[in-house]
Structure 1
Amino acid sequence: MHNIQASLTQEQKAALHEGLVIPAHPLALNERRELDEVYQRLLTKYYIASGAGGIAVGVHSTQFEIRDPNINLFERVLRLAAEETERANLNRPFIKVAGICGDSEQAAEEALISKTLGYDAALLSMGSLEGWSEQELLRRTERIAEIMPVIGFYLQPSVGGRIFSFGFWQAFAEIDNVVAIKMAPFNRYQTLDVVRAVCCSSRRDEIALYTGNDDNILIDLLTTYRFETEDGTIEKQIVGGLLGHFAVWTQKAVQLLEEVKRIRKQEGSSLSPEWLTRNVEITDANAAIFDPAHQFAGCIPGIHEVLRRQGLMRGIWCLNPEEKLSEGQKGEIDRVYRQYPHLQDDDFVKRHLDEWLAPQS
């Protein structure tokens, strides 16, 4: 299997390490809860036009039910996003990330499908494998890394993740072809574990760190982490985000990351307290959309509701009919819409929507 291992291009590696906005791609359905291909393609066009540096498809926001044999949308949804990316004919690096989950056999099969469709990296979920030891999960990671570049994924326990040891992440970072780690434990201690483990790894310079902490996006991106290791003092930054939150108001997220990059380059400059306030604004907006008040039950419909208001989705339907906005969530989205107009890219969408919806010649 080693001879079929894929890797990122030098341009993609450089872009990944400089920092990218990578939205977690939603699933557009019609009122019969069937794939709405026009709007599925529209979303990909929107992310590309917004300046995103990649997309993650087949992840939580794309709904895990796409893998259900009766629904069977995994390959089709990945293919649509790949086709739109190719059609865009971009003259900049763009990274197509495939969400990969399941036991070793399922994960390997999904990775091979994704690689065949032209995906560049696998975001490897470690959810729903509760009985597996850390060693077994490391072996599974090695197997997928033999097929294509791997982005590790630390997911919060409240939505199906689990806690891993510092040693696990140190061993994970040593796996050849692991190119990044997305940290989404929604927990400062566990985020620190990953950053320190990577800093202590011999592959520290080959692994880009990405935030998935929707509750702390901006502070993650603005912080320089510094640790004493056997090789001396090592500094590392969380350079970008692979987030469900970046699936909405994406153009503004891209502008935000560019501002952060400018600040990173200004040596010795002090950070304005205004950034701390902006972090709280983003977290407040995220709370309305992601619904932590109800253990994230309305998270996917919340993303859909924002996209629906912008005209980027026809409705907020999910494959699971039980998945809908929680009580009071719509009112909360109304509130953050009123309160934070500067976080929204509605004007940008309005200017381009007809063009994105126009039939391809």
Structure 2
Amino acid sequence: MPLHRNDLAPELLSILANGAVIPAQPLALDAQRRFDRRRQRALTRYYIDAGVGGLAVGVHTTQFAIREHGLYETVLERAVTDSRAWTHRPLVMIAGVCGPTPQALQEARTAVQLGYHAGLLSLAALADRSEDELLAHCAAVAEEIPLVGFYLQSLIGGPVLSSDFWRRFALLPNALAIKMAPFNRYRTLDVMRGVVAARAEDHVYLYTGNDDHIVLDLALPFAFPRDGRMVTVRVRGGLLGHWSVWTSKAVETLQRIQAEVSAGGALSADLLALDSRITDCNGAFFDVRNHFAGCIAGCHEVLRRQGLLEGIWCLDPHETLGPGQAQEIDRVYAEHTDLADDAFVAQNLERWLS
């Protein structure tokens, strides 16, 4: 049975509208690169206790290769089951959806059957298509599940999309949100301008996926002309691979940003300075020096150091830390200790692993 955004409980829409931390969930594997059920459950419990508003599962950070390894449905099902067993509070569950239209439609249907509320639709597999073709693809998938649009950076396969594409996307009746992750200020503004042109800024929720610019995306107002006046829009929250680590601190950061914005007046210098500090940490975790080659393994390494993961294994044996990445993670741990949540994890790890 297809799912429409109008079918979603009001509290779920409220979570998205008010702004939430939504981590992209990693995949837990054992030393034989088999699915580690216990540690995957521990990750879900960690994120819930950290205070997240939802989970994104089956996305890039979960490794797209789960599909060819027959793990897509297993991983999605476990996240729903484990979250429901751990908490009764509402969580927005977002499933990664990708591939050509037949594959994307099947994944959307699977996600709905498993209890997911939205699909984060990657267009990387169709990057060579025209915008008309891409929009037709989005419209087809939107017949099955509320869509979170995904502007993926071109360096790792995302198509370059115009502001008019995002205007047309925002006009889809089942468009729910957009994750802006081009890692490019001009293209981020293209998304916002398109949503404003569609008059959709109040119901198509903007979420940052720009792991290189998290704090300022969340803290600053953005203004665009429409009908002779300026329309101000804000990024509500984040759906981020970076927030798969040090997650309780991410929740604190978003709450601090929201509090300062609500208070009015100038934002504090300390808050604004967090943008560069968090970006510095992201550079280490995402292996920017090696063109993001170790971005998944880097997040695994942080979780391994905390004891949540047993190792940094990925489904692809060749996917691991980049040269010098471990040393970069050492550096940001030493220089930005207050941004880590190791103490929070240590206090709860045994309970999460039980």
Q: TM-score range by the shorter chain?
A: over 0.9
Q: 1:75 to 1:231 in 2, by over 3 A?
A: farther
Q: Give 1:7-156 correspondences, 5 Å limit.
A: 7=5, 8-68=8-68, 71-91=69-89, 93-156=90-153
* Root-mean-square deviation over aligned CA pairs: 1.1
Determine the C-alpha separation between the residues in 2 that align with 1:231 and 1:30: 58
Q: Give the equivalent residue in structure 1 for 2:252.
A: 255
**Alignment check: 8 A CA contact 1:24 1:55 kept:** yes
Partner SS, residue 312 of structure 1: coil
Alpha-carbon deviation of 1:103?
0.9
Note the alpha carbon deviations across 1:266-298, whole angstroms, 9 max, x for none. 12x112222232111100000001011111000
Determine the C-alpha separation between the residues in 2 that align with 1:110 and 1:152: 15
**Alignment check: 8 A CA contact 2:30 2:313 kept:** yes
Alpha-carbon deviation of 1:85?
1.2
**Alignment check: 8 A CA contact 2:2 2:112 kept:** no
Tell me which of 277, 301, 311 is aligned to 1:281. 277
Partner SS, residue 34 of structure 2: coil
Q: Give the equivalent residue in structure 1 for 2:190.
A: 193
Partner SS, residue 90 of structure 1: coil
Determine the C-alpha separation between the residues in 2 that align with 1:200 and 1:231: 12
Which runs of 5 or more structure 2 residues have no equivalent in the other structure? none
Alpha-carbon deviation of 1:142?
1.1
TM-score by length of 2: 0.97
**Aligned amino acid, residue 54 of structure 1:** G
Tell me which of 312, 316, 340 is aligned to 1:316. 312
Note the alpha carbon deviations across 1:215-243, whole angstroms, 9 max, x for none. 10000000101111127321110010000
Q: Give 1:166-205 correspondences, 5 Å limit.
A: 166-205=163-202
Tell me which of 339, 350, 354 is aligned to 1:354. 350
Q: Give 1:185-264 correspondences, 5 Å limit.
A: 185-230=182-227, 232-264=229-261
**Alignment check: 8 A CA contact 2:2 2:109 kept:** no
Note the alpha carbon deviations across 1:5-51, whole angstroms, 9 max, x for none. 33322111111011000000000001111101100111011001100
**Alignment check: 8 A CA contact 1:200 1:230 kept:** no
Determine the C-alpha separation between the residues in 1 that align with 2:289 and 2:159: 21
- Identity among equivalent positions (%) equals 47
Q: How many residues align?
A: 352
**Alignment check: 8 A CA contact 1:123 1:151 kept:** yes
Determine the C-alpha separation between the residues in 2 that align with 1:130 and 1:341: 39
4+ aligned runs moved over 4 Å, structure 1: none
